[in-house]
Amino acid sequence: MMSSTNMYGVVLWTDTAEKKAVIWCEDHGNLAFYSGTDQSAVEGVSLDAGDLIQFDMNEESNLRRARNPQLVGQSHFPEIAQRLRPEATSHRAMPQSAATNVISMDAFAERRRVAV
């Protein structure tokens, strides 16, 4: 069974030649994958790492697919991929509270509620 959800996320990686992207979702669940072969609202606009997007997410088994991505903020989190790498959160660099390494998307969720 397939479920569909509207979601915000941040682009972690892109391949502009293949029109593909990997997206970190606002719910901090599994990553979502986008393939430019699907129709989208950003036809002709390239997504870059760090861009904040809104998209429709379809989930089948353990695979999330992003569809119809819409650019919300260009280069909103430009260093996000580097911040999520294991060496960036080594034990020496770990803050006292493990919760401080979570990047909150609450502000975007609030904008989403206000816009509706």
Could you read off the pLDDT of 14-59 as tens digits, one per residue? 988 888 999 999 999 999 999 886 554 445 557 889 999 999 999 9
**Gap between the Cα atoms of 37 and 24, Å rounded:** 20
Boundaries of every domain in the chain: 3-115
What CATH architecture does domain 3-115 belong to?
A: Beta Barrel (2.40)
Distances (CA, A) of 91 to 27, 54, 81, 100: 25, 33, 18, 14
Average pLDDT over residues 93-113: 55
pLDDT reported for residue 74 = 83
Contacts of 7 (CB under 8 A, 6+ apart): 25, 26, 27, 32, 54, 55, 56, 57
**Gap between the Cα atoms of 8 and 56, Å rounded:** 9
Q: pTM for the full model?
A: 0.64
Q: Which is higher by pLDDT, 96 or 68?
A: 68
Predicted confidence (pLDDT) per residue in 69-101, tens digit: 999 988 777 777 677 666 655 545 545 554 455
Task: With a cut of 60, say whether residue 67 has pLDDT above it.
Answer: yes
pLDDT reported for residue 1 = 47
Burial 23-35 (b: 16+ CB within 10 A, else e): bbbbeeeeebebe
**Gap between the Cα atoms of 35 and 51, Å rounded:** 16
